């Protein structure tokens, strides 16, 4: 009875794949043996280690067989592909992505080659709306070299792009761990460096600096977020979710409602929350190069495909005399941007990681922060969440307000100004 049920389940899975028109161009060894790991590496794509411990083979088969029953249910989901860190989200992602259809395709202990092996059945068959990748740490434990790991990640990215040339891919950098876990910081840095170089310039891919998000000063994991220096606790998952949320919102999966904000008395909006009117692109929701985007009340400076690209966008209006500027900003990990006050730049970044104001007590990482700039007689007094970041920034007599983009994604909202009338 058990064997018959397993066979029926497998036949049902193959039927689903056929209905979806899946291509047999990859993973032939996996196709031939259903949900079992192939006995050898012969014919398996990629390079490097595939784990074959009994516990892993059982988990691999169990999770993949269960997913086979959800192929129709999980169509068009945002798919998370990874190992135990991804598996640790659970099927409900701990409620941290409300309203977003998501599918967890993480298997504890898996390597990049193992993920490449199962990519077609577990991910491509779902025709995902986006894919979030985190992988490579287990390869290190199996003594794979960073180049091998980066090459496998590139093969996975290539297959995803081949399946859908417009598929958004969020590539999370390998998290820090510890040499005591056979995952030394220098090796992880090298994986991240090689992988970033591989995808540099690809507008389909957003690289998220999750290494800097979790690393201590030595480049290792912090016990308060990864008690075993490898796996996240609840605090860690909340930080990872906060880092992903702005990008998923920009892609249209989260925060889809408009921001119904009305400026307080005496203030007028410089951003209508709908388009770039007043910023040199009246009536447009995006600049021609796609770098600046207006969406649901958010003024977004997107992550550049090159990794870093300095650009500015200014108001068409100038602001002479005295005024008060208020806005809120949100930064992805280690993001770098700036607000131009007429001409001088006030650094606006993920301050704890990117500086220069690393000791702020009120800064909220992965959340919205309020910036207030009060200009009086050519001097700007600037605060972030009530803490002074610039006591007396010298500014010229007149000029526009500008927003810079450099690296990472920066967002601004509720941009408003109160101009003091001349006496």
Residue 246 has pLDDT above 70, yes or no: yes
The C-alpha atoms of residue 298 and residue 248 are separated, in whole angstroms, by 13
Question: How is residue 281 annotated by DSSP?
Answer: B
> Which part of the chain is CATH 3.40.50.1110?
2-250
Give the pLDDT band of residue 421 (cuts 50, 70, 90): confident
Dump pLDDT digits (tens) for 352-362.
999 999 999 99
The C-alpha atoms of residue 158 and residue 149 are separated, in whole angstroms, by 14
> Which part of the chain is CATH 2.60.120.560?
268-419
Per-residue pLDDT, 34: 75
The C-alpha atoms of residue 276 and residue 274 are separated, in whole angstroms, by 7
Q: How far is CA 159 from CA 23, 28, 46, 124, 150, in A?
A: 11, 14, 12, 9, 14
Beta strand pairing call for 130-133 and 78-82: parallel
Dump pLDDT digits (tens) for 326-339.
999 999 999 999 99
Dump pLDDT digits (tens) for 76-109.
999 999 999 999 999 999 999 999 999 999 999 9
Quote the pTM value.
0.90
Kindly indicate whether the domain formed by 2-250 is annotated with CATH number 3.40.50.1110. Answer: yes
For domain 268-419, give the CATH superfamily: Exo-inulinase; domain 1 (2.60.120.560)
CB 241 within 8 A of CB 211: no
């Amino acid at each position: 009875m058990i064997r018959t049920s397993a066979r029926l389940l497998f036949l049902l899975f193959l039927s689903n794949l056929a209905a979806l028109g899946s291509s047999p161009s990859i993973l032939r060894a996996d196709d031939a043996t259903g949900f079992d790991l192939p006995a050898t590496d012969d014919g398996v794509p990629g390079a490097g280690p595939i784990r074959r411990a009994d516990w892993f083979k059982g988990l691999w088969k169990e999770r993949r067989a269960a997913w086979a029953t959800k192929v129709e249910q999980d169509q068009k989901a945002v798919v998370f592909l990874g190992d135990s860190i991804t598996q640790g989200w659970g099927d409900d992602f701990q409620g941290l992505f409300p309203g977003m259809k998501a599918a967890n395709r993480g298997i504890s202990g898996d390597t990049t080659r193992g993920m490449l092996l199962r990519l077609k059945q577990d991910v491509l068959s779902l025709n995902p709306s986006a894919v979030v990748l985190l992988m490579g740490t287990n390869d290190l434990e199996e003594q794979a070299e960073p180049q091998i790991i980066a090459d496998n990640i590139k093969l996975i990215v290539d297959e995803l792009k081949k399946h859908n040339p417009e598929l958004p891919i969020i590539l999370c950098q390998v998290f820090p761990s510890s040499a005591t876990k056979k995952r030394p910081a220098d090796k992880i840095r090298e994986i991240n460096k090689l992988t970033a170089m591989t995808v540099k310039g690809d507008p389909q891919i957003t690289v998220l600096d999750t290494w800097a998000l979790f690393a201590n000063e030595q480049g290792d994991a912090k016990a308060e977020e990864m008690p075993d220096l490898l796996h996240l606790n609840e605090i860690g998952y909340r930080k990872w979710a906060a880092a992903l949320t702005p990008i998923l919102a920009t892609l249209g999966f989260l925060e889809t409602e408009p921001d119904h904000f009305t400026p307080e008395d005496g203030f007028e909006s410089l951003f209508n929350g709908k388009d770039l009117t007043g910023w040199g692109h009246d009536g447009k929701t995006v600049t021609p190069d796609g770098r600046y985007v207006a969406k649901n009340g958010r003024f977004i400076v997107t992550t550049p495909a090159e990794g870093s690209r300095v650009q500015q966008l200014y108001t068409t209006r100038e602001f002479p005399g005295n005024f008060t500027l208020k806005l809120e900003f949100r930064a992805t990990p280690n993001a770098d941007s700036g607000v131009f006050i007429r001409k001088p730049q006030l650094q606006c970044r993920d301050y704890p990681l990117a500086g220069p104001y690393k000791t702020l007590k009120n800064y909220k990482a992965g959340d919205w922060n309020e910036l207030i700039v009060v200009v009086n007689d050519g001097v700007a007094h600037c605060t972030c969440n009530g803490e002074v970041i610039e006591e007396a920034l010298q500014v010229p007599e007149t000029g526009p307000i500008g927003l810079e983009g450099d690296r990472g994604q920066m967002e601004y909202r509720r941009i408003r100004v109160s101009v003091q009338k001349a006496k």
